[in-house]
Amino acid sequence: MSLNLNELNPEQREAVTTTEGALLVLAGAGSGKTGVITSRIAYLIGPCQVPPSAVLAVTFTNKAAREMSERVAKLTRTPGRKQRKGGGSARDDGPLLCTFHAFGMRLLHAHITLLGYRASFTIMDSPDQASVVKSLLEEGDYDLGGVKPKDVYFALQNAKSRGITAEELQTHRDLPADVQLGRLLADYDKTLQRLNAIDFEDILILSLRLCHEHPVAAQEFFRRFRYVMVDEYQDTNRRQYEMLQAVAAGHGNLCAVGDDDQSIYGWRGAEPGNILDFERDFPQARVIRLESNYRSSGTILQAANQVIRQNPNRREKTLRPTRGPGDPLEWMVGEDETDEIEKVVTHLRLAHLRDGLSYGDIAVLYRSNHQSRRVEESLREEGIPYRLVGGTRFFERREVKDALAYLRLIHEPLDEVSLLRVINFPRRGIGRASQTRLVERAAAEGRPALALMREAAHLDEFSGAPATAMERFAVLIGDYRHRFESEPLGATFRDLMRHLDFHGAVEKERSDPKGAERSVGLILELELAIDRYAQNRPEAKLKDFLEYVVLMTLPEENDAADRTPMVSLLTVHSAKGLEFERIYLIHMAEDLFPNKRALAEGGDDEERRLCYVAITRAKRNLILSMSRIRKRWGEVIRQQPSRFLLDIEAGLFDGPAPSSGGEETQELRVHKAAAARSRFFDQVRGRKADAQAGD
DNA sequence: CACACGCTAATTTTT
DNA sequence: TTAGCGTGTG
C-alpha cells in the first residue's frame, strides 16, 4: 500500500497537493479527512522530497496521533524495511505526529529552564491538582461562600483553560467570588512552581511564554518544521491556535483540517471560531471543502443530517452520500438498564454468529464513562472479547498512582506531592502530626523534606518510632534512586514492590475480597506494563517511563491480545475520528444524552453535535437503544427518548421509531405501519441508487 | 497513630 | 446503591 493520488477525488487531491501557503480544509464527517492529511504527509516526503523531519502534524488526542502514525507508516513504508523502532512518531528523523501537549512538552524539555523551572519538572494530573486545591482551601482563608471544593477546582481549571489569568479575575470582579478565585489561582500557580510541577494547561501556557519571552530559543526549536498540519481544527483553543501561528510564522505553510459540526470540546475552551479567524489571519488562504461522504450508508447519513441541521449558527454543509441507503436504523427499548444491555449484547452476538460480523467491527458508544460498566459485565458473562477505550484511566487508579508516586519521588526527590502520597503508604507509622511538622520545618528552612527525613533522629520535632521510620524511608528512596540508574526498569520496580510488600498493603486497604483482588491485579498489570515498555526500549530511563505515563504518547503495543478482534467500548468523545461497521449507541434517553448537566451550561448545540459525531461513526448499521426506566439510588425514573432521536424521520427505522409518547400500543402500530411503508420506498430507492453506483 | 463506623453526596466529556 | 470522607474510640 503506497500513495496513489488517483484514488482521491478532485477536492481531496487538491488538498493533498496544495503544499505551500495556508490551507483550510473543511471536511465533513467521513469525507476522508484523515486520509487527506496522511496522504499529504506522504506526498510531501515522497514526490516533493521534503525531509520527513520537516513535517509536523498536530492532533488533539493521542488516539488520533497514533492512528495517523500508523496510516502514514503504511503509505510511506519502503518494502523490506520495517519501521518499528522506538515507536513511530518518537523517532527524530521521521515526521512528528503528536498532540499539542506532546509537542509543547518537547519544547519545554529543551528550554524550560529559561522560565525558572528545573529540568526535572513533573506534570500534575487532575487528581494531583485537585489535592493541591484542597489543601490550599484548608489552609488559606478563601471566602468562596460555601462552594464545594470540587466546584472550586473545576472553576479554576476552567479559568485556566480559557486563558483567564489570576490578575484578570481579581481586577474584573464581576462577582465577588471571582476575586477570591483569582487569589486562589495565584496561590495555586505559586504552589505548583514551588513544587517544580506544571499542570496540563501549563504545558501550553509555558510553551507560549517561551515563544514570547525567549523567541530565539523557540525559533531554534521550531525551525525544523517547515510544513505544519492540524487535525480537528475546530477543537483548538486560543492558545493552541497561537502556538500554531508561532510555529508556522516563518513560512506560513499551515494546513488546518476541521469540521465545525464536530466541535465537541467547547467545555474545555475550544473555540470553533478559530476556523473563521483562520481566514481572517491568512487572507490568501485556500479553502477546500470535502463534502462527499465515503463512510456511511445513505440512511445513516440522512439520520445524521436530520439531527445536525437543527443547530443554528453553523456553516451549511451538504454531505453527499456515495453509497446506497443500506439497512434501516434500529431502535431498541429495554425495561430497565439491565434489560437494555442484555438486548444489545444478544443483538450484537447474533450479528457475529449469524452474519459473521467480526467483533472488531462493532462498537458500543455511550455519553459518559460509567455507562460502560453494565456492558462490560454483560459481555464478560457472554464470553465476548471487548476492549475498553479510555474510561477511568488505568494510570489514574489510586493503587497505581500510589505505586507511581514512588517512582516519581525516586526520580525527583523534591517532589513533595509524591512524597506525602507515599510517606505513610504502606503504613510505617508516620502519621499526620509528624507529616505536618515535617512539611513546616522543610518550608521554614527552605530545605527538601526528604533531606530532613534522612536526619530525623537528630531533630527536635521527631523521636522514637516515627523518626526511625523517616530515616529508613529516606534511605530506601536513595537506594532505589541509585539502582534505577543502572539496573533494568522492570526488575527494579518489581523489587521495590516486593520490598515494600506493596501487594499486601494494597490488599489490606480493601475490606471486600473482590476489591482486594482487583487492586492487586492492578499492580500486577502495572508491573507488566513497565516490562512491556522496557522491552522495546532498552535505553529507556525512569524519567522516560514517567513521561509516557502522563502523556501516554506511545503507539499501542500490538501483542497477541491486541490482535484478537474485540468489541470496542467507548465514550462518544473518544470515538471521534474512528469508524465501525456497526455502532450501538446506548442510553439514548433525555437527561442522559443530552446530558442534564451539560444542558445546564448552555444550549443543547454541543450535545447535538456530539450526537452527530456518534451517528456518523457507523458505516453500515446503527442501533440506538434506551431503557423505559432508570433507577437512581433505588428510586425509579421514567425515561423519554433523547430529543435528538425525535428529529430523525420514523421511516428510517426498522420497526417502531423513538417517540415522545407513552407506551400506547395504538401509536406503536401506527409507527410500524409507517416504517413498513417507507422501508418499501427505501428499498426501491436503494435499488436505484445501487444501480447508479454502477457496481 | 490506626482502625471502624456512619454519614453524605453523587452521575460529563480529555490532555 | 456505593464510594469516599470525617469523626470518634482504642
**pLDDT tens column, A58-106:** 988 887 888 888 888 888 875 544 444 334 344 567 899 999 999 999 9
Q: What is the largest CA-CA distance in chain A?
A: 90
- The answer to whether A121 touches A101, Cβ cutoff 8 Å, is no
The pairing of beta strand A635-638 with beta strand A629-632: antiparallel
**Three cell numbers, residue A300:** 445513516
Across the range A546-554, mean pLDDT stands at 72
Could you tell me the pLDDT band of residue A677, with boundaries at 50, 70 and 90? very low
Q: What pLDDT sits at residue A559?
A: 53
Q: What pLDDT sits at residue A16?
A: 95
Which residues of A are known to be catalytic? 33-34, 231-232, 262, 617
Per-residue CA distances from A562 to A66, A231, A373, A387 (Å): 14, 26, 21, 9
- Length A184 CA → B7 C1' (Å): 29
Q: Residue A89 — φ and ψ, nearest 5°?
A: -70, -10
Residue A206 scores a pLDDT above 80: yes
Residue A668 scores a pLDDT above 50: no
Nearest 10 degrees: CA dihedral of A566, A570, A573, A577? 10
For A437-450, the three-class secondary structure string (H helix, E strand, C coil) is HHHHHHHHHCCCHH
| Nearest residue to C3 via alpha carbon and C1' | A510
Per-residue pLDDT of A520-532, as tens digits, reads 888 888 898 888 8
| Nearest residue to B11 via alpha carbon and C1' | A370
**Three cell numbers, residue A331:** 431502535
* Closest nucleotide C1' to the C-alpha of A510: C3
Peptide bond into A426 cis (omega under 30): yes
Per-residue CA distances from A635 to A428, A630, A632 (Å): 44, 8, 5
Crossing angle (nearest 10°) for helices A513-536 and A502-509: 140
- Length A267 CA → B12 C1' (Å): 10
- Length A478 CA → C8 C1' (Å): 38
Q: What pLDDT sits at residue A365?
A: 95
List % helix, strand, coil for chain A (3-state, nearest 5): 55, 15, 30
* Closest nucleotide C1' to the C-alpha of A508: B3
**Three cell numbers, residue A223:** 525551525
Could you tell me the pLDDT band of residue A144, with boundaries at 50, 70 and 90? low
DSSP letter for A641, please: B
| Nearest residue to B1 via alpha carbon and C1' | A431
Task: Tell whether pTM > 0.85.
Answer: no
Weakest-pLDDT range from A31-40, A189-198, A387-396 = A387-396
Residue A392 scores a pLDDT above 70: no
Could you tell me the pLDDT band of residue A557, with boundaries at 50, 70 and 90? low
Cβ contacts of residue A176 below 8 Å, gap of 6+? A143, A145
**Three cell numbers, residue A61:** 488526542
CA–CA dist A314, A458 (Å, integer): 69
- Length A99 CA → B15 C1' (Å): 8
Residue A281 scores a pLDDT above 70: yes
Across the range A311-329, mean pLDDT stands at 86
Across the range A194-211, mean pLDDT stands at 90
**Three cell numbers, residue A301:** 447519513
Question: Residues for chain A: how many in total?
Answer: 695
Across the range A426-430, mean pLDDT stands at 86
- Length A32 CA → B14 C1' (Å): 24
Across the range A464-487, mean pLDDT stands at 91
Q: What pLDDT sits at residue A173?
A: 61
Can you spell out the DSSP letters for A41-99? Answer: HHHHHTTT---GGGEEEEESSHHHHHHHHHHHHHHHPPTT----TT-GGG-TTS-EEEE
The number of angstroms, rounded, from the C-alpha of A149 to the middle of its chain's C-alpha atoms is 24
Q: Which nucleotides of B are covered by protein (CB under 7 A)?
A: 1-3, 9-15
What's the sign of the alpha-carbon dihedral A180, A184, A185, A190?
A: positive
Residue A561 scores a pLDDT above 70: no
pLDDT higher for A178 or A480? A480
Residues near strand B (C-beta below 7 A) are: A 60-63, 99-102, 126, 148, 150, 200-201, 264, 267-268, 367-370, 390, 424, 427-434, 466, 551, 571, 573-574, 595, 597-598, 601, 632-633
Cβ contacts of residue A74 below 8 Å, gap of 6+? A1
Q: What pLDDT sits at residue A682?
A: 43
